[in-house]
Amino acid sequence: MLKQKIEQAINKQINAELWSAYLYLSMSTYFESISLGGFANWMRIQAQEEVAHAMRFYDYVVERGGRVKLMPIDSVKTDWKSPLDAFEETYKHEQKVTGLINDLVNTSTAEKDHATVNMLQWFVDEQVEEESSADEIVQKLKLIGKDGSGLFMIDRELAQRVFTPPVKSKE
């Protein structure tokens, strides 16, 4: 059985993951509006990953005998100055999510909830990948500057991304 403090913290994280999905879906629509379908695809896949993360937390709460309580999802930004601006925001957002995951680990450790600490290790590892992926695109966009052919090449690269659901593991 989950302690109430852990259950509440994970419920907040479920909301944060769903908000992230909403943000990335908004970024996808931004990229569609400026005819960058590959960028839009990358963000749409990112939104799917965030929903999968929320569901991983959801399943964990249920498995531990807790109750998921869904909360309203706040509105998100809908426009960016440039692809670089959007990806810089993505990178900063992933850093924020890393902080939220680290806070969950700290809370679970303080509560001596070793099962939750163990489950959260997957998210700690995932956040390293999330930050690295976003930063890589930021660096490429900075490198090409205003070069339209470079933007086209990155767009083609990002169009290749496909959603791969995370493997269900036994925590």
For 130-139, what is each residue's pLDDT tens digit?
Answer: 999 999 999 9
Per the CB < 8 A criterion, the answer to whether 21 and 58 are in contact is: no
DSSP the chain: ---HHHHHHHHHHHHHHHHHHHHHHHHHHHHHHTT-HHHHHHHHHHHHHHHHHHHHHHHHHHHTT------PPPP-----SSHHHHHHHHHHHHHHHHHHHHHHHHHHHHTT-HHHHHHHHHHHHHHHHHHHHHHHHHHHHHHHTT-HHHHHHHHHHHTT----PPPP---
Predicted local distance difference test score (pLDDT) of residue 169: 60
Domain holding 11, by residue range, is 4-158
Q: Is residue 44 part of a domain?
A: yes
Q: Establish if 103 belongs to a structural domain.
A: yes
In a domain, 163, yes or no: no
**Model confidence pLDDT, tens digit, residues 44-92:** 999 999 999 999 999 999 999 999 999 999 999 999 999 999 999 999 9
Establish if 170 belongs to a structural domain: no
Residue 171 inside a domain? The answer is no
Instruction: Please report, for the domain that includes residue 8, its CATH number.
Output: 1.20.1260.10
pLDDT at 93 over 80: yes
Per-chain mean pLDDT for the chain: 96
Q: Residue 167: which pLDDT band, with cuts at 50, 70 and 90?
A: confident
| pLDDT for the residue numbered 1 | 87
As for how many domains the chain has, the answer is: 1
